[in-house]
Amino acid sequence: MSFIPPDALSTIQLVSGLVASAKNAVDLAKLSSNRDLQAAVSELLIGVMDVKVHVIELDEEVRDLKAQLARREEIEGPDAKFGYFHFKSKPDEPLCPKCYQSVPSKIANMGPRQQLGNWVVRACPVCGFSHRERMGSLSDSQSPTW
Ligand SMILES: [Zn+2]
């Protein structure tokens, strides 16, 4: 018989072990003539299986949150000038602040600069958020960093 330290087992493995134990208890209870015992053990098995489903859902949620957290560590912002976010590795590609700060957070690059009347603007192709970066024309040489 091998011994595995409890902290080395995942929660799903622990719950799977409980399901197996509960199934074993159901099989043993079938040998008994006590109907109350059989019903109680069957109810226990159903309850443990419900817990297993819930644990699997929570495990998926934890994985998603860890992935989001890792992604957030790659992103900086908002910048003081325009309020954009950007990947640390792509400082010249602004992300839509509205999409990024929505729940759930989405990653969408702001569109290219466009001339809109007297303004140079960028718009998000996903949510339509637009930001006036400056007055003037696209051809002005004093364009900002991005
Ligand atoms: Zn957006």
Terminal-to-terminal C-alpha distance of the chain:
63
Please give the distance, rounded to the nearest whole angstrom, from the Cα atom of residue 124 to the centre of ligand 1: 5
The predicted-structure confidence for 49-97, as pLDDT tens digits, reads as follows: 999 999 999 999 999 889 888 988 999 999 999 999 999 999 999 999 9
Please give the distance, rounded to the nearest whole angstrom, from the Cα atom of residue 128 to the centre of ligand 1: 6
Q: How confident is the model at residue 141, as a pLDDT?
A: 55
User: What are the residue ranges spanned by the domains of the chain?
Assistant: 6-72, 76-135
Please give the distance, rounded to the nearest whole angstrom, from the Cα atom of residue 110 to the centre of ligand 1: 7
Please give the distance, rounded to the nearest whole angstrom, from the Cα atom of residue 82 to the centre of ligand 1: 14
Which range has the worst mean pLDDT, 8-22, 45-59, 119-133? 8-22
- How far apart CA 68 and CA 124 sit, in angstroms, is 21
Averaged pLDDT for residues 110-135? 95
Q: Are 94 and 50 in contact (CB under 8 A)?
A: no
The model's pTM is: 0.58
Residue ranges with strand state E in the chain: 75-76, 86-87, 114-116, 119-123, 130-135
Mean residue pLDDT across the chain: 89
